[in-house]
Each structure stands twice: as structure tokens, then as C-alpha cells.
């Protein structure tokens, strides 16, 4: 009975969970959430869970804000749908496009809407190909992405993702036009180097790959400003300026996937302000509506847009829900709340330093080999041996164990492989943050005990 049981054993349920070990689920069941408010979600047993992940980088302003409901309802009554295929647009989408471009650097002047981050990445990569075709360089077909990245679940977005299980899933993934380089993961790839030196070395992997593939064949490089996938992999300050220089040198478009970083995750409105990135195309999603409705935006720089407008004919690309009025209205209201309540600025000033101190306090935990963060995204990497940095065997599922221990204590604390990730909502209070870290520590202590690890 979905109304009364907190844990359901959804054995051959009608609803297939995304990203789930469906065989495993038959043993463990699935929590059924019924209500959310602020940073909390309640299940059918009345158990309160702190969403330490902001629903994976979505729910930045927290659950249950009535203003967003009102904005959605009013828009639905005024104009519930707009047929964009019939050369019709509506005021709310135009206003949102204007708002977004006013918040972004000068050259990012054009917006294309979709419903999801995966679709935004499809748009970005199709657009990059289209650009090079129109520029008379149809050979520039290849995309370079990074290992451990996640860019979505459609064929191209899954191909861009550098997560091995997605690539073993069959379906010709990764598509043959996608190549991967190592990501800026200093703990694993830059031991013994100082951060500045490592940033330059890691960016150099892009140059090596471009030279290997031939610059005339490479359309674009795509990356998150800081990589949420793979466990909060935060680049050193020297990384992005080098990446930028290399893309310019070889005339390779730079695509920034800000689906998670956008709208405050790094402590700045967009990751590109944190790292000084000037992308040709950028993707926004999740936080654009704080997860209240599905919407994503592909923001296109003048260089690509001018070519599309001046030289392009019809570009056969669009979705039934491109620029959906209700989603755009909710996005505008979400941005108004972020702006007027100074949620991002306040989080950056007060919460980010506390978060950094909290994450770093785990460095001496017997299970933690690396404690890293940027803004309100943190990763605690569990290792078997702190000296050699050896990981636990995959089969040990130590991260999943820790995640389950945290959930028992009322915290959503995600295992990203062996790295425990935290991405609390931007509206988390200092007291709530202290509670998050206290539960995280209890979960790690219980995990250490279970695996026989002592200080
Ligand atoms: N890019 C990044 C960086 C993501 O984290 C995600 C989703 N977790 C996506 C793209 C895909 O977005 P969606 O799930 O909305 O398709």
C-alpha cells in the first residue's frame, strides 16, 4: 500500500526507477516520498530526510515555495501551451531568454529551450556540427569529453558521459564520434604535483587528444566547470585558462555543461564566473526552475548564432515542449526569488566557508583519502589505504553501505562510486549544515566499524 508503507518492495513494479539496480531493488525496496518543505522530504512512514543532494543539484531554493505554484497556475490559465513549430512564440519564453542573457557574459546572447539536460546537450552538439558545416568545415565532427563525466542518458549525451557502466550498456555507446580524456582529478592523476602545476598538466591532455585526432576533425570540447559526476572533481585555478587557450589555438568550440553548476552551486550564479570560462555554448537545466518543472536552456554565443542566422537555412531541431510557457514562468519566478532574496550571494558569504570547513574536517577520518569541494558541492573519497590510496573492491559497495547508513539516520548522502557527495540546498541554515555533517560522520563511523577499520 503506497500510502502507508515507507519501504516498498517494488517487485516487478509498473514504475521502473532511473539509475537503479533493478535486480537489487527487489531485495531492498524503494522509499516513497510524499512531501517536501525547505531542505526536508518526508516518506510515507513520516520519516524526515534531509536532502543533502538538492535532488542532485536541482532544488537550490528548497521544496514547497508557494510563489512558484502561483506562477505556474497563473501562466497555465493565461496561456497553457504555445505551438513553437508554427513560428509562434510567447512573452514568457522571450522574457526568460532576455533575463538569462542579461545575467551572462556579453557574447552569450541567444537561448534555445528544451526540457532536460540531456536534450540541451543534444542541442549543443548538433549545433556545433551545424556550425562547422555552415562554416565550410564539415570535417570537424568529433567531440572530446572527459572520463567520469555525466552529460545525460540519450544516445549522444550518454556517449559524451565517461562513465563505464553507460558504455557497457550496448546500443553502440559511446558513439564513434566521441573521445574521452582524463579529467582534472588531482587525487588520482596528479599525486605529488602542486595544484597549479597539475591544472596545466590536466589541460594538456586536451591538447594531446586534439593533436592525436587532428584539429581539423574536432568540433568541440565539452565539460562541466567543476565535475559533479565522478565525485566533486574540482579543477585547480590554472585548468580553465589553459583549456580556453587550447580551444582557441586549435579552433575547437568550448561547450560548458552548467546543468548542475548553474544557478549557484559553485557559490557564483554560474560556474563560468567562478572559473573565468568563456564558452561558445553553455547548457543550463535543473536549477533553472529549482527542479519544480522540467526545463533546460542551451545558451549560444554570438559566434555560433551569427553563423546559424546569417548562413543557415531551416534547422530541423526542436521539441514539442521547447520553451513551455509554464516552465518558463516558473524559471522566471525562481530567478526572481534567487535574486531578491540574495540566496546565492548569502550562501557564498556564509554557508560556503562553513561547508568548506565541514568537508575538510573529514580529512583525518580513517576512511577518507581525499576531502574536496567547491561552493556547495563536496566529495569525500573513501579509500582502503590512505597511504597508497588503494580503493575498496567494487564488490564491497562501501559507498553504498555508507549511503544506506546515512539514510537510516535521515540524510540523503550519495555514493558516487566510493566518493560520498554532498550538495545541500542553497537555503540550508548553518544549524542544518551542522546536522548534515554530524549525520555524515555517524554514517562514516558506522561504515568504518562494519568494514573493521579503526583510526
Ligand atoms: N549534465 C549534467 C552535468 C548532469 O548532471 C545531468 C543530470 N544529472 C545532465 C546533464 C542530464 O540532465 P537530465 O537528467 O535533465 O537529462
Q: What is the DSSP string of 297-342?
A: EEEEEHHHHHHHHHH--------TTTT-HHHHHHHHHHHHHHHHTT
Say how many C-beta atoms besides its own lie within 10 A of residue 26's C-beta: 13
Binned at pLDDT 50, 70 and 90, residue 316 comes out as: confident
Contact 285 CB / ligand 1 (< 6 Å): yes
Q: Lowest mean pLDDT of 83-92, 156-165, 229-238, 304-313, name the range.
A: 83-92
Ligand 1 neighbour 56 (Cβ under 6 A): yes
Is a pLDDT exceeding 80 seen at residue 179?
A: yes
CA 136 – ligand 1 centroid, Å:
32
Q: How far is CA 411 from the centre of its chain?
A: 20
User: 261 CB less than 6 Å from ligand 1?
Assistant: no
Question: Domain residue spans in the chain?
Answer: 32-64+342-450, 67-340
Does residue 2 register a pLDDT over 70? no
ipTM (interface predicted TM): 0.99
Mean pLDDT for 140-165 is 94
| Mean pLDDT on 365-373 | 98
What is the mean predicted confidence (pLDDT) over 309-322?
88
| Cβ of 114 less than 6 Å from ligand 1 | no
| pTM for this prediction | 0.96
CATH topology of domain 32-64+342-450: 3.90.1150
Q: For the range 132-137, what are the long-range contacts, defined as Cβ-Cβ under 8 Å and sequence gap of 24 or more?
A: 132/219, 134/307, 134/308, 134/311, 134/312, 135/307, 135/311, 137/216
- For ligand 1, whether the C-beta of 122 sits within 6 Å is no
Q: Which of 64, 33, 14, 31 is nearest to 290 (CA)?
A: 64
**Probe target for ligand 1 pocket from 285, 292, 321, with the most ligand atoms within 8 Å of CB:** 285
Q: Does residue 213 have a pLDDT over 80?
A: yes
Band of residue 24 on the pLDDT scale cut at 50, 70, 90 = low
pLDDT band, very low/low/confident/very high, at 6 (cuts 50, 70, 90): very low
Average pLDDT, the chain: 93
Please say whether the beta carbons of 302 and 107 come within 8 A. Answer: yes
CA of 24 to the centre of ligand 1 (A): 24
- Whole-number pLDDT of residue 269: 98
What percent of the chain lies above the pLDDT cut of 70?
93
Rounded CA separation 422/404 (Å): 14
Enter the DSSP assignment of 80: S
- For 27-79, how does the pLDDT look when each residue is reduced to its tens digit (9 = 90+)? 555 677 889 999 999 988 889 999 999 999 999 999 999 999 999 999 999 99
- Mean predicted confidence (pLDDT) in 433-448: 98
Beta-sheet pairing, 368-374 with 40-43: unpaired
CATH number for domain 67-340, candidates 3.90.380.10, 3.40.50.1100, 3.40.640.10, 3.40.50.720: 3.40.640.10
> Does the beta carbon of 259 sit less than 6 angstroms from any atom of ligand 1?
yes
CA distances from 108 to 100, 219, 312 (A): 9, 19, 19
CA-based angle 264:256:38, to the nearest 5? 25
Whole-angstrom Cα Rg for the chain? 22
Amino acid at each position: 500500500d503506497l500510502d502507508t508503507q515507507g519501504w516498498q518492495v517494488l517487485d516487478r513494479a509498473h514504475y521502473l526507477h532511473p539509475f537503479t539496480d533493478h535486480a537489487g531493488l527487489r531485495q531492498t525496496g524503494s522509499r516513497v516520498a510524499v512531501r517536501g518543505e525547505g531542505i526536508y522530504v518526508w516518506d510515507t512512514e513520516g520519516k524526515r530526510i534531509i536532502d543533502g543532494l538538492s535532488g542532485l543539484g536541482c532544488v537550490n531554493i528548497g521544496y514547497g515555495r508557494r510563489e512558484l505554484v502561483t506562477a505556474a497556475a497563473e501562466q497555465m490559465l493565461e496561456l497553457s501551451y504555445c505551438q513553437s513549430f508554427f513560428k509562434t512564440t510567447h512573452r514568457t519564453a522571450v522574457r526568460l531568454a532576455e533575463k538569462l542573457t542579461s545575467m551572462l557574459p556579453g557574447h552569450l546572447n541567444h537561448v534555445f529551450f528544451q526540457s532536460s539536460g540531456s536534450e540541451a546537450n543534444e542541442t549543443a552538439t548538433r549545433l556545433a556540427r551545424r556550425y562547422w558545416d555552415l562554416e565550410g568545415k564539415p570535417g570537424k565532427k568529433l567531440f572530446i569529453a572527459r572520463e567520469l563525466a555525466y552529460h545525460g542518458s540519450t544516445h549522444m549525451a550518454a556517449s559524451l558521459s565517461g562513465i563505464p557502466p553507460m558504455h557497457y550498456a550496448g546500443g553502440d555507446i559511446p558513439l564513434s564520434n566521441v573521445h574521452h580524456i582524463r579529467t582534472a582529478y588531482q587525487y588520482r592523476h596528479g599525486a605529488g604535483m602542486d595544484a597549479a602545476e597539475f591544472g596545466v598538466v590536466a589541460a594538456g591532455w586536451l591538447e594531446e587528444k586534439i593533436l592525436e585526432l587532428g584539429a581539423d576533425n574536432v568540433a568541440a570540447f565539452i565539460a562541466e566547470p567543476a565535475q559533479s559526476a565522478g565525485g566533486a572533481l574540482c579543477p585547480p585555478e590554472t585548468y580553465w585558462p589553459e583549456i580556453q587557450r587550447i580551444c582557441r589555438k586549435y579552433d575547437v568550440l568550448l561547450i560548458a555543461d552548467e546543468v548542475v553548476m548553474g544557478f549557484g552551486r559553485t557559490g557564483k550564479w554560474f560556474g563560468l564566473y567562478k572559473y573565468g570560462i568563456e564558452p561558445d555554448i553553455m547548457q543550463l537545466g535543473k536549477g533553472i526552475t529549482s527542479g519544480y518543472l522540467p526545463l533546460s536552456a542551451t545558451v549560444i554565443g554570438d559566434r555560433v548564432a551569427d553563423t546559424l542566422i546569417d548562413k543557415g537555412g531551416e534547422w530541423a531541431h526542436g521539441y514539442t515542449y521547447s520553451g513551455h510557457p509554464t516552465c518558463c514562468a516558473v524559471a522566471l519566478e525562481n530567478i526572481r526569488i534567487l535574486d531578491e532574496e540574495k540566496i546565492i550571494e548569502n550562501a557564498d558569504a556564509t554557508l560556503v566557508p562553513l561547508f568548506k570547513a565541514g568537508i575538510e574536517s573529514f580529512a583525518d577520518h580513517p576512511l577518507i583519502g581525499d576531502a574536496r569541494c567547491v561552493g556547495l558541492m563536496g566529495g569525500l573519497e573513501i579509500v582502503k589505504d590512505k597511504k597508497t590510496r588503494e580503493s575498496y573492491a567494487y564488490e564491497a559497495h562501501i559507498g553504498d553501505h555508507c549511503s544506506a547508513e546515512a539514510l537510516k539516520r535521515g540524510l540523503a548522502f550519495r555514493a558516487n562510486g566510493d566518493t560520498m557527495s554532498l550538495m545541500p540546498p542553497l537555503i540550508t541554515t548553518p544549524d542544518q549544515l551542522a546536522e548534515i555533517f554530524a549525520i555524515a560522520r555517524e554514517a562514516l563511523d558506522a561504515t568504518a566499524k562494519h568494514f573493521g577499520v579503526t583510526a
